[in-house]
Amino acid sequence: MGMGTPRRSSWGHGGLCGPVSPSVLGMGSDPAAIDVFFVRFWPPAANNQRKAMTDDDTQLLRRYAQDQSEAAFAELVRRHLGWVYRTALRRTGGRSDLAHDVSQYVFLALAKQADALAERDQLAGWFYTTIRNAACQLMRAEARRRVHEAAAAMSLYEDVPPESWAGLRPTLDQELDRLAAKDREALILRFFEGKSFAAIGEQLSLGEDGARKRVERALDRLGAQFSRRGIVSTVAVLSGMLSAEGSAAAPAGLQATVLETALSGAGTAGSVATVALLMNATKATWTGLALLGLIGIASLSSVGFAVAEYRAMQADRSAAAAAARHFQSERDKAAATARETADFQSQAAALALKVDAARKAAEIARAKAQSAKNAALARTEKGKADALDFFSQYSEGKAALLQFFKTEAAAGDALFYRKTGLTPAQTQALVNQRANYWLDSTVLLPNSAYFTGPELPDDQLQGILGDQAFQAYKDNENSRAALDWVGTLARSAAEGGVPLSLDQDESLTAAITSNSPDYAKGAAVNPANVNWANAMAQAQQSMTPAQWAQVQPTIQMQQVMRELNAASQEGAAP
């Protein structure tokens, strides 16, 4: 909201961050005033993204169902996509393309059923059952396709059951299916989701010791089932195998694909998958017909060889056979042309379905975006009216909030004031005007408070700062997006024990601003227009290998969120 180095906690568009005692703000000990203060100001709204990192699954799903929180849904995808994909990969026989489809279907179903599923105590069992059902349906369709191909080629396909650990992946899911639901859920929570025994006990209402015993009994039962297959193993080996399957990461790019599919309305994915399946079946049919055609040609060739042996005695029959072969060849060419035409028509029809589905999805997205925009405007207008009403009734609260704004304006940008050499009088005038400006534009909502005018108009700022300091302020504000991005990386690096230096902060900020065409034209950095490929290359040169490795998850998550924002803006465009 302000100037200088970006703050970690502030009052701005996100709301009031961090607990603030009403007595500190000058409200005294009046119970009624304190109650009103807590109702109006205490629930923080700026920590939504951080809160998503600590909420349990059902809380995140409830936030998505009620508030359409994309951040909450993105956190659910980040938590579960790895083991969902690995389970789907086992159940589809190692087919990564089919595992992609199953993963997208699972999170699409999660988005569609969010209202009902948010009432559950935990989601692990639902995830596993949905993966199993989707994979079974897809594999049955694949099996039918293989049968058609085999019949067309006049050959047999035999499934060879796994005889060793190398073929254990499909067998693992078969044995998990045979376990009781409570045992299977315990194994999923422990090894696929990586939860501690304490967390499992709390989620299943067992306690830590009860959770440990249930997991141990489930491993014993799983080992006994494998023994009946002739595979003898220990609990340690089974634990290691389950941990390896659960900890493997999903392919790069799948998380963004899943988020885009689920959050866009979920209507397109099923249609496209169905069309793709029909196209595959059609190609299989034509492949079989082509094989039959080759067999027919081979048979005719054999007839030609037999006739050639008697050519001297049966010249007329030889000529007739040659004519028949020529006729068959021409007929085969005509059939091949017809097949190519039919395949082209099928692909054109499938493309038309995709285009129509994409158009409908875009219309739905635009309608949702407009509805959300109208609702936000209505909430803002009501919030302004509520603020005026509140301030008229509680002058102590208004005075306390004004004092808080003054403190924020003075402390938050103290470094900028010193760097630009502002006099104490200039500083005090700027602090007072900014605090009053924020107070006049305050909006009160049930769970948050923010102001709609983040900064004073340029003419007032220039009158207080003077030309030189005003220009320095504008340059600082234009790089605000870059400073926020660097601040996020700095927090990630510090959490990993490899903090960035001030020089590195400045180098990373320059990496963004130097690749921003908007900044080069004297405007604010727009993340959507930054050349991120060049910026990331320069950023990597500014950091040590350990720092670069530590911030990779943060960079990838920021990229996903930029792509989601871009998709949302495209969908909302008229």
Task: Kindly list the domain boundaries of the chain, sorted by start residue.
Answer: 52-260, 267-370, 479-572
Q: What is the pLDDT of residue 306?
A: 38
pLDDT-derived band at 419, boundaries 50, 70, 90: low
Query: Between these two residues, 320 and 131, which has the higher pLDDT value?
Result: 131
Task: With a cut of 60, say whether residue 78 has pLDDT above it.
Answer: yes
In three-state secondary structure terms, 78 is helix
| Residue 108 pLDDT exceeds 90 | yes
More confident site: 462 or 546: 546
pLDDT digits (tens, 9 = 90+) for 155-202: 333 333 334 445 456 678 888 888 999 899 988 998 888 888 888 998
Distance from C-alpha of 411 to C-alpha of 400, rounded to nearest angstrom? 17
pLDDT digits (tens, 9 = 90+) for 275-315: 343 334 334 333 333 333 433 333 333 334 333 444 555 67
Mean pLDDT of the chain: 75
pLDDT in tens, 94-105: 889 899 999 999
- pLDDT beyond 90 at 133: yes
415 pLDDT more than 70: no
pLDDT digits (tens, 9 = 90+) for 396-406: 888 888 888 88
3-state secondary structure labels for all residues of 166-211: HHHHHHHHHHHHHCCHHHHHHHHHHHHCCCCHHHHHHHHCCCHHHH
Which residues neighbour 513 within 8 Å (Cβ) at sequence distance 6 or greater? 478, 479, 482, 519, 525
Task: Give 498's pLDDT tier (boundaries 50, 70, 90).
Answer: very high
Residue 343 reports pLDDT greater than 50: yes
- C-alpha to C-alpha distance for 289 and 297, rounded to whole angstroms: 12
Task: Give Cα separations from 319 to 291, 296, 297, 303 (angstroms).
Answer: 27, 19, 17, 13
Torsion from C-alpha of 561, 564, 569, 574, nearest 10 degrees: 180
The reported pLDDT for the residue numbered 299 is 36
Positive or negative, the Cα torsion across 69, 75, 84, 208? negative
Distances in whole angstroms, Cα of residue 454 to Cα of each of 232, 390, 435, 450: 67, 21, 10, 9
- Spell 480-516 as b/e; 16+ CB within 10 A means b: ebbbebbbbbbebbeeeebebeeebbebbbbbbbebb
Residue % of the chain over a pLDDT of 70: 72
* Residue pair 176/184 in contact by the 8 Å Cβ criterion: yes
Bridge partners of 444, per DSSP, are 449
pLDDT score, position 571: 59
Supply the pLDDT for residue 180: 92
C-alpha 392/C-alpha 280 separation (Å) is 69
3-state secondary structure (DSSP) of residue 443: strand
Contacts of residue 383, defined as CB under 8 A and 6 or more positions apart, other chains included, come to: 443, 444, 445
- CB neighbours (10 Å) of residue 247? 13
Whether the predicted pLDDT of 47 surpasses 60: no
Nearest one of 244, 205, 240, 200 to 223, comparing CA atoms: 240
Buried b vs exposed e over 144-183: b needs ≥16 C-beta within 10 Å? ebeeebeebbeeeeeeeeeeeeeebbbbbbebbeebeeeb
Question: Which of 41-55, 204-218, 424-438, 450-464 is modeled with the greatest confidence?
Answer: 204-218
| pLDDT given for residue 572 in this prediction | 55
Residue predicted with more confidence, 441 or 269: 441
Predicted local confidence at residue 269, as pLDDT: 40
pLDDT band at 553 (very low <50, low <70, confident <90, very high): very high
> What was the pLDDT predicted at 136?
93
- Answer whether residue 215 shows pLDDT above 90: yes
pLDDT of residue 547 exceeding 90, the answer is: yes
Question: Could you say which DSSP state residue 499 is in?
Answer: P
